[in-house]
């Protein structure tokens, strides 16, 4: 069956880990599928959301490459009931997914509002209601796992209910789509698709940095939509000013409208998020354990990962989630995440965020930016790798271990005093940990 072949083909498109963890759980339903509709089953709701966000559009493109029709992708849950009688009547819960590949569970209602995200939330809601109002374009930026993609989808979900024509793509998909159409000599179709929508929702535009041809195409798309009073909403993991290799003409256009940043949530918001995720997924956890999870994780994506893991463990062991399990889950999570982190990975990520060359960090340069970068690296290396202080001193070309120790202590103190610095370090750490393996925790 074509669907099975496509799943097989995905082996070459994703990491082995992703294939084994997610793709291998997908089953193609040939009977329910048609030329413009491909139906897949997965075993639980978490996977619906994950597969939808990460792979649906990739799968659609693989179909399109074979059949020249880009099908709608439906991901459904197939639940197995415990007693024999209902097992025979497998309950199939269908979740309809539109061709725009929006994630239907990312809505305004399912978004927990707190100090850290309320400005971004209210702007998102405003644009969902009044297309091309005074905010155009809108840019939502901030660290990973803090809800940017969720808000972008929420705008799309609400506006599409009102009959608006939505395109939701990541900047990477925009680039792939562009190259495919260019190769197939179907640029007319590409332009028609992107320039005829009411809302263009484009995720992770930092990806455009350094991709000149795609930026050029996006520039024209942007102008056309803006001139026709169509709404453009973008997200980025950093402010456009800090995106390396972004053309000035695009950067200045991004500043025409309004931008809103999201910062890591404060403890009250995290507690509310944990409670909300538990209630949506029927997970029962006591207050003490909720507080523990909320105070030890800052990234919402990782909170979700730990909850998935705890939920699975609790059901296998036939007992309720407790504090000890949560402590172990968080410890394992950290350990697994850290296994392959090397000093070079830390250096590269810090260099990327501070816009300097990795080699400068290892040099003797004393400029402020490089000195800061070096201190960030020292702090993160002590936290995430087993390297000893003498080893770090040697690798970073510093005098001796006491220079490392001094730098580390100074960082600790500064982070205590500056919330912004703490957020910057937290974000770099998230990025390093995410780089490890593309998995939800
Ligand atoms: P980003 O795009 O900023 O990296 P996402 O939007 O993908 O982050 O969010 C990661 C996960 O955390 C998603 O599953 C999202 O639903 C959830 N999440 C983030 N912020 C919130 C929030 N304020 N309320 C509810 N869920 C959230
Ligand atoms: Mg995102």
Ligand 1 atom with minimal separation from the 121 CA: 23
**369-383: average pLDDT:** 93
Q: Give the closest ligand to the alpha carbon of residue 153.
A: 1
Rg of the chain on CA atoms, in Å: 23
Tokens of 359: 């080699």
The predicted-structure confidence for 153-191, as pLDDT tens digits, reads as follows 999 999 999 999 999 999 998 998 898 888 888 899 899
The predicted-structure confidence for 68-78, as pLDDT tens digits, reads as follows 888 999 998 87
* 54 has pLDDT over 60: yes
**347-369: average pLDDT:** 91
Cα–Cα distance for residue pair 191/269, rounded to 1 Å = 41
Ligand 2 centroid vs 391 CA: distance in angstroms? Answer: 36
Quote the distance between the C-alpha of residue 252 and its chain's center: 25
Q: CATH code for 2-86?
A: 3.30.300.180
Instruction: Check pocket membership of 106 for ligand 1, CB cut-off 6 A.
Output: yes
Ligand 2 centroid vs 149 CA: distance in angstroms? Answer: 4
Query: Binding site residues for ATP, as ranges?
Result: 145, 147-149
**356-361: average pLDDT:** 93
pLDDT of 334: 72
Instruction: Check pocket membership of 431 for ligand 1, CB cut-off 6 A.
Output: no
Cα–Cα distance for residue pair 418/420, rounded to 1 Å = 5
Ligand 1 centroid vs 434 CA: distance in angstroms? Answer: 14
Tokens of 243: 């995106």
Mutate to test the pocket of ligand 1, among 102, 120, 124, 146 (most ligand atoms within 8 A of CB): 146
* 94 has pLDDT over 50: no
pLDDT band at 96 (very low <50, low <70, confident <90, very high): very low
pLDDT of 100: 54
pLDDT of 183: 87
* 20 has pLDDT over 90: no
Instruction: Check pocket membership of 375 for ligand 1, CB cut-off 6 A.
Output: no
Q: Where are the domains of the chain?
A: 2-86, 118-262, 268-338, 343-434
Residue 294: left if φ>0, alpha if ψ -120 to 50, beta else—which one?
A: alpha
- Express as a percent the part of the chain with pLDDT over 90: 55
pLDDT of 99: 47
Mutate to test the pocket of ligand 1, among 145, 207, 275 (most ligand atoms within 8 A of CB): 145
pLDDT of 198: 94
The predicted-structure confidence for 390-429, as pLDDT tens digits, reads as follows 999 999 999 899 999 999 999 999 998 887 888 889 889 8
pLDDT of 52: 83
Would you mind telling me the total number of residues written for the chain in this entry? 441
Ligand 2 centroid vs 367 CA: distance in angstroms? Answer: 33
Beta-carbon count within 10 A of 52 CB: 24
pLDDT of 158: 96
Tokens of 96: 């309809």
pLDDT of 160: 92
CATH architecture of 268-338: Orthogonal Bundle (1.10)
pLDDT of 79: 60
**120-148: average pLDDT:** 91
The predicted-structure confidence for 362-373, as pLDDT tens digits, reads as follows 998 889 999 999
Pick the CATH number of 343-434 from 1.10.1750.10, 3.40.50.2300, 1.10.3720.10, 3.40.109.10: 1.10.1750.10
Instruction: Among 33-47, 367-381, 403-417, name the one with the lowest average pLDDT.
Output: 33-47
| Greater pLDDT, 43 or 348 | 348
Cα–Cα distance for residue pair 227/222, rounded to 1 Å = 8
Q: CATH code for 118-262?
A: 3.40.50.300
Mutate to test the pocket of ligand 1, among 150, 169, 274, 306 (most ligand atoms within 8 A of CB): 150
Give the 3-state DSSP-derived string for the chain, with helices as H, strands as E and coil as C.
Answer: CHHHHHHHHHHHCCCHHHHHHCHHHCEECCCCCECCEEEEEECCHHHHHHHHHHHHHHHHHHHHHHHCCCCEEEEEEEECCCCHHHHHCCEEECCCCCCCCCCCCCCCCCCCCCCCCHHHHHHHHHHHHCCCCCCCCEEEEECCCCCHHHHHHHHHHHHHHCCCCEEEEEHHHHHHHHHHHHHCCCHHHHHHHHHCCCEEEEECHHHHCCCHHHHHHHHHHHHHHHHCCCEEEEEECCCHHHCCCCCHHHHHHHCCCEEEEECCCCHHHHHHHHHHHHHHCCCCCCHHHHHHHHHHCCCHHHHHHHHHHHHHHHHHHCCCCCHHHHHHHHHHHHHHHHCCCCHHHHHHHHHHHHCCCHHHHHCCCCCHHHHHHHHHHHHHHHHHCCCCHHHHHHHCCCCCHHHHHHHHHHHHHHHHHCHHHHHHHHHHHHHHHHHHCCCCC
| Greater pLDDT, 144 or 152 | 152
Instruction: Check pocket membership of 149 for ligand 1, CB cut-off 6 A.
Output: yes
| One fold for 2-86 and 268-338 | no
**288-314: average pLDDT:** 90
Ligand 2 centroid vs 170 CA: distance in angstroms? Answer: 9
Instruction: Among 308-317, 321-330, 340-349, name the one with the lowest average pLDDT.
Output: 308-317
- Express as a percent the part of the chain with pLDDT over 70: 93
* 88 has pLDDT over 50: no
**246-270: average pLDDT:** 93
Instruction: Check pocket membership of 117 for ligand 1, CB cut-off 6 A.
Output: yes
pLDDT of 309: 86
Q: Give the closest ligand to the alpha carbon of residue 301.
A: 1
pLDDT of 53: 80
């Amino acid at each position: 069956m074509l669907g099975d072949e496509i799943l097989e083909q995905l082996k070459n498109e994703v990491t082995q880990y992703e294939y084994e963890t997610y793709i291998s759980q997908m089953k193609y339903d040939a009977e329910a599928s048609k030329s413009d509709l491909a139906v897949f089953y997965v075993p639980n709701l978490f996977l619906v959301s994950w597969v939808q966000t990460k792979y649906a559009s990739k799968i659609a493109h693989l179909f399109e490459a074979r059949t020249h029709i880009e099908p709608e992708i439906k991901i459904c849950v197939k639940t197995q009931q415990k007693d024999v009688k209902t097992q025979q009547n497998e309950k199939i819960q269908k979740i309809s997914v539109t061709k725009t590949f929006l994630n239907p569970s990312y809505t305004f209602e399912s978004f927990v509002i707190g100090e850290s995200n309320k400005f971004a939330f209210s702007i998102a809601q405003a644009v969902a209601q009044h297309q091309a109002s005074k905010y155009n374009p809108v840019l939502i930026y901030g660290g990973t796992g803090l809800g940017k993609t969720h808000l972008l989808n929420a705008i799309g979900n609400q506006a599409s209910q009102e009959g608006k024509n939505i395109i939701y793509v990541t900047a990477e998909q925009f680039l792939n789509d562009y190259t495919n159409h260019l190769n197939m000599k179907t640029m007319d179709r590409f332009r028609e698709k992107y320039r005829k929508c009411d809302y263009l929702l484009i995720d992770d535009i930092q990806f455009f940095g350094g991709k000149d041809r795609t930026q050029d195409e996006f520039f024209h798309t942007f102008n056309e939509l803006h001139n026709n009073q169509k709404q453009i909403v973008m997200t980025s993991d950093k402010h456009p000013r800090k995106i390396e290799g972004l053309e000035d003409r695009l950067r200045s256009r991004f500043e025409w409208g309004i931008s809103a940043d999201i910062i890591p949530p404060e403890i009250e918001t995290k507690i509310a998020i944990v409670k909300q995720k538990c209630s949506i997924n029927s997970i029962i956890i006591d207050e003490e354990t909720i507080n523990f999870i909320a105070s030890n994780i800052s990234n919402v994506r990782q909170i979700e990962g730990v909850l998935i893991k705890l939920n699975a463990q609790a059901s296998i062991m036939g007992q309720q989630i407790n504090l000890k399990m949560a402590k172990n889950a968080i410890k394992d999570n950290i350990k697994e995440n850290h296994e392959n982190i090397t000093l070079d990975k830390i250096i590269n990520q810090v260099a990327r965020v501070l816009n300097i060359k990795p080699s400068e960090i290892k040099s003797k340069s004393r400029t402020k930016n490089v000195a800061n970068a070096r201190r960030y690296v020292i702090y993160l290396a002590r936290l995430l790798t087993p390297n000893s202080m003498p080893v770090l001193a040697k690798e970073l070309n510093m005098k001796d271990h006491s220079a490392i120790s001094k730098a580390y202590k100074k960082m600790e103190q500064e982070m205590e005093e500056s919330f912004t610095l703490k957020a910057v370090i937290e974000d770099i750490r998230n990025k390093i940990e995410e780089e490890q393996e593309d998995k939800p925790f």
